[in-house]
């Protein structure tokens, strides 16, 4: 049976899914996908998987996908990051029997994607992307899809989408932000870009960005004409988003923890989900936030969740009639609700800096860091406890002279004013010495002919029936019957005694 394409693939295989849970690293694992499906999600993606690791590591495959087939977890799309056509196809061939499609991640904007050269940092390499999708479309038995970020220019974004469609992409998810829009600079996603792409291609299009409530989903579909809407942050803070509900947090957490017991996952995933779900409550109960960060077992996490639930229920019982929520939240803190990231100006104010004058300073004001231990990060607090005199002011850090070639700290006694790595290369190339780095290429080279000459002469000269005995610094000969050449070197005295010229043993070495 030939694989379905385009709209047929979306309608039949994906069952016309409109409510989609995004691929999220360490967050869209099986337990979370099942929870989301129970509360309105119609299609889920796996976390982004690294294609190269997936190919070479059987344990990685087993842990992330191939451990257990769950009939409830369909339709499912497996997402990979990759930058090599052959590796991408190999990984996809391993995964295709466990999924309904394979997705190529072209939207990750994080620094790890930049270092690994994948995700949104491939969006300028159109020839490479075309080869990857064409090859995958030929080799796989399931459709290939893509998730992209937009360019600042709508026209370029449209051409980008059309290229992917022509190469064989059967479904396109468009995140309406550029790769520079992340963290405090995320801003608002552009539905205009998404709308332009939807009009320009004939394959199904999903929209991603600005989704906090079910009403946002309906509005996005209406304004852009997309076939479905994907949610990431909104889903993490309210798994019932696609139901149009805002339940109490412990309802979602209790259900999630039950699923985790049936389908275990790393404790770090569970902890991260609880930090998201209880985000607003943990701003009120800071002590329990610290406890949640420290617990090392699932039972410990369940205990913290139970205590948070108890405290919230006490607040509800003591709540006065007509009392309104505090902190500018749309609901009370124990209700599942979206989290809005602060913008750059708000972040600067929170960190004790101002947008214009604080550009060179860190996340927190330096004088506050040194004066108040509570304002330090956990890692810096540990360092401060080990060394109370430690300062985190970058202006107090020692200044190192830089290597003339690579910019790393240079050796203080290097004759070339280079770091050790660059110095070693140059000294080897020029057959030179650098006493500062203890590199003696020239000295060794000059000594090597003498050694070779001495070795050759000694091998050619056969010792007469006499043996050399070294006593102190003088050489004496004893009459013996045996004869030996240089290769009969007595290993017991080399190199300490022989080199020092004091050997009490009978030997035939050149010292």
Q: Is 229 helix (H, G, I), strand (E, B) or coil?
A: strand
**Pick from 191, 282, 280, 273: nearest CA to 235:** 273
Question: Which of 44, 108, 220, 403 is the catalytic position?
Answer: 108
CA dihedral over 130, 135, 140, 141, signed as positive or negative: positive
The whole-angstrom separation of Cα 314 and Cα 108 is: 42
Q: Which residues of 228-261 are buried (b: 16+ CB within 10 A; e: fewer)?
A: bbbbbbbbbbbbbbbeebbebbbebbebbbebbe
Residues composing the chain: 511
Asked if 207 contacts 229 with a C-beta cutoff of 8 angstroms, the reply is: yes
CA dihedral over 412, 413, 417, 419, signed as positive or negative: negative
What are phi and psi for residue 316, nearest 5 degrees?
-65, -40
The DSSP-derived string for 387-439 is: -TT----GGGSPP-PBPTTT-SBPPTT-TTS--HHHHHHHHHHHT-EEGGGTE
Q: Is 440 helix (H, G, I), strand (E, B) or coil?
A: strand
CA 76 to chain centre: 23
Annotated catalytic residue 67: no
**Pick from 218, 220, 197, 198: nearest CA to 208:** 220
**Pick from 37, 104, 96: nearest CA to 71:** 37
Asked if 265 contacts 29 with a C-beta cutoff of 8 angstroms, the reply is: yes
Token reading at 29: 């694992």
**Catalytic machinery residues:** 108
């Amino acid at each position: 049976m030939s694989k379905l394409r385009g709209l047929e693939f979306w309608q039949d295989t994906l069952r016309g899914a409109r409510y989609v849970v995004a691929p999220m690293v360490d967050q869209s694992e099986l337990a979370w996908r099942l929870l989301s499906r129970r509360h309105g999600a119609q299609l889920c993606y796996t976390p982004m998987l690294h294609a190269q690791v997936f190919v070479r590591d059987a344990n990685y495959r087993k842990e992330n996908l191939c451990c257990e087939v769950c009939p409830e977890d369909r339709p499912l799309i497996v997402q990979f990051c990759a930058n090599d056509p052959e590796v991408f196809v190999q990984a996809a061939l391993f995964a295709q029997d466990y999924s309904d499609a394979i997705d190529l991640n072209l939207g990750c904007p994080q620094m790890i994607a930049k270092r690994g050269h994948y995700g949104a940092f491939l969006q300028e390499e159109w020839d490479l992307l075309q080869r990857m999708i064409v090859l995958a479309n030929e080799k796989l038995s399931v459709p290939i899809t893509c998730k992209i970020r937009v360019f600042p220019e709508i026209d370029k974004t449209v051409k980008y989408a059309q290229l992917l469609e022509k190469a064989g992409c059967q479904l396109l998810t468009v995140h309406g932000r550029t790769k520079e829009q992340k963290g405090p600079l995320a801003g608002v996603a552009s539905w205009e870009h998404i709308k332009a792409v939807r009009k320009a291609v004939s394959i199904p299009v999903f929209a991603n960005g600005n989704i906090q409530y079910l009403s946002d989903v309906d509005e996005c579909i209406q304004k852009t004409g997309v076939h479905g809407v994907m949610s990431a942050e909104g889903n993490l803070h309210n798994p019932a988003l696609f139901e149009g509900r805002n339940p109490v947090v412990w309802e979602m957490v209790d259900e999630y923890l039950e699923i985790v017991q049936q389908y275990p996952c790393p404790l770090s995933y569970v902890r991260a989900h609880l930090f998201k779900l209880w985000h607003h409550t943990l701003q009120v109960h800071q002590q329990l936030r610290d406890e949640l960060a420290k617990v090392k077992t699932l039972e410990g996490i369940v205990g913290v969740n139970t205590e948070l639930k108890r405290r919230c229920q006490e607040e509800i019982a003591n709540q006065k009639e007509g009392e309104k929520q505090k902190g500018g939240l749309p609901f009370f803190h124990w209700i599942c609700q979206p989290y809005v990231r602060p913008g750059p100006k708000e972040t600067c104010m929170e960190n004790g800096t101002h947008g214009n004058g604080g550009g060179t300073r860190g996340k927190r004001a330096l004088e506050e860091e040194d004066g108040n231990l509570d304002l330090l990060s956990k890692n810096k607090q540990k360092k401060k406890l080990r060394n109370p005199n430690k300062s985190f002011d970058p202006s107090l850090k020692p200044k190192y002279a830089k290597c003339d070639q690579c910019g790393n700290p240079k050796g203080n006694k290097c004759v070339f004013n280079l770091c050790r790595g660059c110095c070693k290369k140059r000294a080897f190339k020029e057959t030179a010495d650098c006493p500062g780095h203890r590199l003696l290429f020239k000295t060794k080279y000059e000594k090597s002919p003498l050694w070779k000459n001495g070795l050759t002469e000694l091998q050619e000269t056969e010792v007469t029936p006499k043996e050399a005995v070294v006593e102190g610094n003088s050489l004496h000969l004893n009459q013996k019957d045996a004869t030996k050449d240089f290769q009969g070197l007595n290993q017991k005295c080399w190199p300490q005694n022989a080199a020092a010229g004091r050997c009490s043993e009978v030997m035939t070495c050149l010292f």
